[in-house]
Structure 1
Amino acid sequence: MLEPEIAAFVEKASAIYPSHSTPLTPPEQRALYDRYALSLTPPLPAGIEVEDGELQSRAGHAIRLRLYRSRAVRRDAAVRGTVLFFHGGGFVLGSLDSHQHITARIAADTGLDVIAVDYRLAPEHRAPAAHDDCLDVTRAALERRLPFASLELDSLQLVGDSAGATLAASVALRLRDERAEQRVHGLVLVYPMLGTEPQPPARDTEAHAPMLTAADVRRFRDLYWGDGSDGTPYPAWTIPLNATRFDALAPTLALAAEHDPLRDDARVYVERMRAAAGDARLWIGTGLVHGCWRALDSSPGVQRMHDTACAFLRERAEARTG
């Protein structure tokens, strides 16, 4: 059963953005998605400064970035650190603007600097384009090459929702496998997509859930990775649940929604990390749906989800810099 406030959110959202399966081209869907996101985006919290920048990728293209910084909390300096945020949208949708309410609220509610990453989108840019962009930005952060002044990079954490969580988990795994001396210090994965097929039982019991269906997941998968018909293998490092090792990873918080075909992706990932003696935590939002973070200002359940994420980020930053 949906939380009443989430049921109202789903009704409102569906009236603006009816379905991921509408017969529109990706650019048309992006325009519709951005209008939907804008309609649910309130003014930014008071005291939040916003700065745009660009990073030149290894492949030669520019990756747009946006920094959110809280003036009031920065003066207190009780918590210091930087968060890289990778937005959701099935690798096809989303932008710096589409998730700005979420990124600004993380900055306001944690005191951490939050940098949103505008990675390349499919189907124009297929796998591993989005992964490569997010890896480039994370390496630049670890090497202190980001185009923003006064960043606190002794504590670097990654946050992603949906497809963005795939990117965050993949980057952390890649850095671990490369035995990078510097790694991220915490991951928050919000209703994550961590494989190319949703994990049971939610794959079946929530196949027709509001906001995201199992068919939607597969459609986005095919647009980014391909449908496999040409025999080209998926780049192994881009699919977290296909990893052969789950040890030596940063402490991870996975937050799932009850009514989401991807719900058990979070559970399985946490179980595998715990089996490898990792610090992995699971939170499942009763009555919540995929994409519900946008209902932060109206849903008690989403507020709890957000508070749980922010508390984890503050805890990890304090552990690193305290």
Structure 2
Amino acid sequence: MLEPEIAAFVERTAAIYSHTTPLSPPEQRELYERYTAALAPQMPANVSTQDAVFESRAGHAIGLRLYRNTAAAGLARGTVLYFHGGGFVLGSLQSHQPVTARLAADTGLDIVAVDYRLAPEHPAPAAHDDCLEVTMAALRHALPFDSLSTGTLQLAGDSAGATLAAGVALRLRDEGIAGVSGLALVYPMLGTDPQKPARDTEAHAPMLTLANVHGFSDLYWGKERPYPTWTIPLEADRYDGLPPTLAIGVEHDPLRDDARVFVERMTAAGGDARLWIAAGLVHGCWRALDMSPGALALHREVCGFLRAHVTQT
């Protein structure tokens, strides 16, 4: 059963935006940006932003936005790279600002949002490559900002952004590169096909259906496989050696069990992983944190995890 406030959020969303609308990706992006702007709250008063451009080795620009809590003196400090959701096709620095700004406001950490390349114009592994390159630069303290917190780095993301965060963590592990102290995955899309039973029981869930998942997957990965296993976390060969991880699934989401399976595999490999399933919520609910008690609880879980895994240097 949907939380009543989430039912209202779903109804409000449906009046503006739907993944099933027969539009081209650019048209769908424009509609998605209008939808996210319509629901966006005011920026927290104590959060400042700074935009910058990271030049990739291949020569393309990757937009970044730093969110900083200006009232965070004396709080635990550190940096979080945030990869937004949107099925690898939608989303931007602006569309997920309600989440990234509140993370900065409520944790005291520096949040750096990453505007990676989108599919289908840039198919796999373009988004993964962008996020990996930005992460490597952050570990070298080489991001184009005047200053960042000196605590060790954490990775976070929602939906497809959680896929990117988990994939980057797997690649760093494979390369023997340390320095990421925490991994926060919110309703993650960790494979090209969702895990059962939610794959079937929530195939027609509000906000995201199984058909939507397959559509986004095909636009990014295509129907011809394989791609490197680090880009599809649930196809990895091993799950040891990953940072402490929080994986959050929501009840009414065909992707719900991706979080569970990932945590089970990490735990079986001796890792530090925790699963949190949010009852009554739907995919994309994080942006409803100002109207939904359940979404606010989800947000607080993420904030508590990120604060707990800051390592100062």
Give the TM-score of the pair, scaled to structure 2: 0.99
Cα distance in 2 between the residues matched to 1:44 and 1:273 = 36
What is the match of residue 13 of structure 1? 13
The answer as to whether partners of 2:150 and 2:312 remain within 8 angstroms in 1 is no
Does 1:292 pair with 2:292?
A: no
State which of 157, 160, 163 in structure 2 corresponds to 1:160. 157
Give the distance between the partners of 2:223 and 2:236, measured in 1 at CA: 20
Deviations 1:262-294 (A, max 9, x none): 000000000000001100000011000000001
1:245 is paired with a residue whose SS is coil
CA positional deviation for 1:155: 1.5
Q: State the shift of 1:149 in Å.
A: 1.9
Poorly superposed stretches of 4+, deviation over 6 Å: none
One-letter amino acid of the counterpart of residue 122, structure 2: H
8 Å CA contact 1:122, 1:223 repeated in 2: yes
TM-score in terms of structure 1 length: 0.96
Verify: 1:233 aligned to 2:226, yes or no: yes
What residue is the counterpart of 2:259 in the other structure? Answer: 266
Q: Spell out the pairing of 1:1-322 with structure 2 (5 A cutoff).
A: 1-17=1-17, 19-73=18-72, 75-76=73-74, 78-180=75-177, 182-228=178-224, 232-317=225-310, 320-321=311-312
Q: Do the aligned residues in 1 keep the contact of 2:152 with 2:179 (CA within 8 Å)?
A: no
Q: In structure 1, how many angstroms separate the alpha carbons of the residues matched to 2:263 and 2:140? A: 29
Residue 245 of structure 1 and its aligned partner are, at CA, apart by: 0.9
Question: Cα offset for 1:236?
Answer: 2.0
The whole-number CA distance in structure 2 between the counterparts of 1:42 and 1:124 is 31
Q: Is the 8 A contact 2:56 2:133 kept in 1?
A: yes
Distance apart, 1:221 and its partner CA: 0.2
Q: Is the 8 A contact 2:20 2:212 kept in 1?
A: yes
Q: Which moved more, 1:289-298 or 1:143-152?
A: 143-152
CA distance in 2, matches of 1:66, 1:136: 16
Cα deviation, residue 183, structure 1:
2.9
Among all aligned residue pairs of Structure 1 and Structure 2, give the percentage whose two residues are the same amino acid: 70
For the residues of structure 1 that align with 2:96 and 2:291, how far apart are their CA atoms? 16
C-alpha root-mean-square deviation of aligned residues, in Å? Answer: 0.9
